[in-house]
Amino acid sequence: MLPDKRGYFGAYGGRFVPETLMPALEELTQAYQQAQQDAAFQREVSYYLKHYVGRPSPVYRAAALSKKIGGADIYLKREDLNHTGAHKINNTVGQLLLARRMGKKRIVAETGAGQHGVATATVAALLGLQCVVYMGEEDIYRQSPNVFRMRLLGAEVVKVSSGSGTLKDAMNEAMRDWVTNVRNTFYVIGSVAGPHPYPVMVRNFQAIIGEEAREQMLAQRGALPDCVVACVGGGSNAMGIFYHFLPLQEVKLVGVEAGGLGLHTEQHAATLNAGRPGVLHGAYSYLLQDVAGQVRPVHSISAGLDYPGVGPEHSYLKDSGRVQYITATDEEALEAFHLLARTEGILPALESSHALAGAIKLAAQMNKQQSILVCLSGRGDKDVPTVAKTMGVELI
Amino acid sequence: MTGIEHLQQTFAALRERQEKALVTYVTAGDPDLTTTARLMQTMAQSGADIIELGVPFSDPSADGPVIQRASTRALANGTGLAEILHLVSAARPGLSTPVVLMSYYNPVLQYGLTRFCQEAAAAGVAGVIIPDLPVEEAGALLAAAIPRGIAVIPLVAPTSTTQRLAKIVAVAQGFIYCVTVTGITGTSQSVTEEIAGLSRQLRELTELPLVAGFGIATPDQAARVAQYTDGVVVGSALVRLVEQQGENSLQAVDQLTRELKNVLVGKNW
């Protein structure tokens, strides 16, 4: 299946990086291909996913939430129950085992919400690898519990103050580090973004989400879901849950982007809804940019969605029409957050709250015989300070 | 004369005089385009053989903090590609020094590759350097640039394999930009170890001039690197002067340019 040899999904993807990194990407591509064909490596990944991460994560029928909405039956794929609290760990287990196999002793990563940073720091600690995580100043402030967690795990967290001090700037800084230390360093990208082979590699490590969910839906409900919904920043949890449903045309697939303060403002991160193709961070993909090709500042209440780009496979799926991309605003995401907390006793991550908000809108238009599967990509513990702030509550 | 011919002529003349090329870099629009025009004239008069003009970009991930800050300042002034092409066009009558543009790919791509190459050729731009456009992705730009005589100047790195170097020199024009270190602009300490091996490899593959850049700040560094190449690029050191002195930086830029050129002439290379 996709992508082609040069890493293109249709028109999107490729490798737009300094020459210094090209040999490293070639080396990585080769090492990953070999690892994929190596049963011992696959067994190793499976072992850690089962016994360390806690897979398979459950699919849970959210009966009370569904009843409250009065439409389609909503199911949640509980990636929030993974070790470290999000889907990010699936990918970091895979990439860090690959890094160790390649003999790389030093790991760099960038993080927005901190979930990828925590997952990387966790597996680096597990495998005894040195770990440096770049994080935007603004995000360090928004996600302070995760910053402390990374430090407890032995990682060095580097504050990035350039640009908007968010995920894209952290990614620039991680790339600068990688260019400088490319000979001994492995760059762990946390989304289906970046230069080839990252988009396909991260998608493959995350595809276990949808693979499990498809079987679980069939076992529990006796039918495929009518609709699968996931949030899209860079888009790794979405690609993970969509991938095994892509050939099943009867299943509608919906990605939910961060609508921020609304698409009529410039304060959003809805790349596929409001951007156009361009090159950033190593790939040709949809991008929020001005007329001159300068990357636009973006906004989302959720640090993990606060990104002006998107993985190239999503751009391809948007153009082909196989996946529909909609938006949820900060406010809608917060409403969904509170609703799930009250009806089901689950605090979702603000990223996942966007998916939930999208699903709630869709469910209301569907009937009780239909079902929606939502990727609950992470838990909301990290977002408690942000949510408290929106409520005017001061935490001690 | 096309841009490619202009560069060929420049290097031929340098060879004749037994000089090494001095390529000086400034970011266009930092602190403003009027100052950039004056800096270009100053650098040309003080001994620069080629002027490299940076097109500012919001996310310059191959550059260090000095050039990154210059980009931010230039963008705050609203500096865009159209104004920069106009600047080169206006400077051209009094400026015999070739001008090459350094830009990240997205601004050029959004401008339109054909439109960019047409207008650049008309403005008298000799070549273009795009740090995030490896040879595998450069097909569309080459197709637009070659018929218009614009040189697409590739970068090669110390990590480039022999196989990759062969692939790169096959499409190179003007000169080859050798990255002296694995790293970003303006940050390295020791620059000669990697370039020695890289230039040795390249000399076997191509007769195009080799110009080294990244981390060359002082005349002493320039002289050491120039042993292995046909020229050097100095960027961050000059941009730092512009950062400190703004529109009053002409004298300091003049002085550093002269000091740099001084060590690149009259030696028995």
pLDDT in tens, A185-199: 999 999 999 999 999
Q: Which residue has the higher pLDDT, A10 or A168?
A: A10
Task: Find residues 66-95 of chain B whose CB sits inside 8 Å of chain A.
Answer: 68, 75, 80-81
Alpha-carbon gap, residue B191 to B141, rounded angstroms: 31
Amino acid at A342: R
Residue B189 has pLDDT above 70, yes or no: no
Residue B193 has pLDDT above 80, yes or no: no
CB contact at 8 A, B165 and B187: no
> What are the start-end ranges of the E strands in chain B?
21-27, 50-54, 99-102, 125-129, 151-152, 155-156, 176-179, 210-213, 231-234
Residue B194 has pLDDT above 90, yes or no: no
H/E element, A168: helix A167-180
Alpha helices in A50-104 (DSSP H): 63-69, 88-101
Pick the residue of A6, A17, A19 with the most B CBs within 10 A to test the interface with B by mutation: A19
pLDDT of residue A190: 96
Neighbours of A33 (CB within 10 A): 12
What is the chain A residue with the closest CA to B82? Answer: A292
Chain B residues close to A166, C-beta within 8 Å = none
> What are the start-end ranges of the E strands in B162-214?
176-179, 210-213
Alpha-carbon gap, residue A205 to A20, rounded angstroms: 26
Is B25 at the interface with chain A, CB within 8 A? no
Average pLDDT on B106-129 reads 98
**What's A49's DSSP letter?**
I
Q: Which two tokens stand for residue A9?
A: 């999904």
Share of chain A above pLDDT 90, in %: 91
Using DSSP's 3-state secondary structure scheme, residue B171 falls into: coil
pLDDT of residue A1: 65
Which residues have CB under 8 Å from A392's CB, separation 6+?
none
Tell me what the pLDDT averaged over chain B comes to: 95
Chain B residues close to A282, C-beta within 8 Å = 132
Residue with tokens 């951007």: A275
- From B179's Cα to the closest Cα of chain A, the distance in A is 8
Residue A347 has pLDDT above 80, yes or no: yes
- For the B3-263 domain, the top CATH level (class) is alpha beta
Average pLDDT on A123-149 reads 93
Average pLDDT on B127-131 reads 98
**Whether CATH 1.10.520.10 fits A55-85+199-391:** no
pLDDT of residue B48: 98
CB contact at 8 A, B10 and B3: no
- From B158's Cα to the closest Cα of chain A, the distance in A is 7
pLDDT of residue A141: 85
Question: Would the CB atoms of A181 and B61 count as touching at under 8 Å?
Answer: no
Give pTM, 2 decimals: 0.96
Chain B residues close to A180, C-beta within 8 Å = 182-184, 187
Is B174 at the interface with chain A, CB within 8 A? no
Average pLDDT on A109-134 reads 96
Q: Which residue has the higher pLDDT, A385 or A15?
A: A15
Question: Would the CB atoms of B111 and A292 count as touching at under 8 Å?
Answer: yes
Alpha-carbon gap, residue B121 to B148, rounded angstroms: 6
Alpha-carbon gap, residue B93 to B87, rounded angstroms: 11
Fold of A17-50+88-197: Rossmann fold (3.40.50)
Positive/negative CA dihedral, A254, A314, A136, A144: positive
Average pLDDT on A224-230 reads 98
By the 10 Å C-beta count (0-12 exposed, 13-18 middle, 19+ buried), B17 is classed as exposed
Chain B residues close to A19, C-beta within 8 Å = 134, 154-157, 159-160, 164, 168, 179
Amino acid at A12: Y
Q: Is B260 left (phi over 0), alpha (psi -120 to 50) or beta?
A: alpha
Q: Which has the minimum average pLDDT: A160-169, A354-363, B6-15, B162-171?
A: A160-169
Kindly report, residue by residue over B245-261, the tens digit of the pLDDT. Answer: 999 999 999 999 999 99
pLDDT of residue A167: 85
Residue B58 has pLDDT above 70, yes or no: yes
A164 falls in which pLDDT band (50, 70, 90)?
A: confident
Question: Would the CB atoms of B107 and A16 count as touching at under 8 Å?
Answer: no
pLDDT of residue B267: 77
Kindly report, residue by residue over B66-110, the tens digit of the pLDDT. Answer: 999 999 999 999 999 999 999 999 999 999 999 999 999 999 999
Question: Would the CB atoms of B110 and A19 count as touching at under 8 Å?
Answer: no
Boundaries of CATH 3.40.50.1100 in chain A? Answer: 17-50+88-197, 55-85+199-391
pLDDT of residue A156: 98
pLDDT of residue A168: 87
pLDDT of residue B7: 98
Average pLDDT on A66-91 reads 98
Residue B191 has pLDDT above 80, yes or no: no
Alpha-carbon gap, residue A152 to B156, rounded angstroms: 40
A134 falls in which pLDDT band (50, 70, 90)?
A: very high
Q: Which two tokens stand for residue A294?
A: 């300068």
Domain boundaries, chain B: 3-263
Using DSSP's 3-state secondary structure scheme, residue B100 falls into: strand
pLDDT of residue A237: 98
- From A258's Cα to the closest Cα of chain B, the distance in A is 21
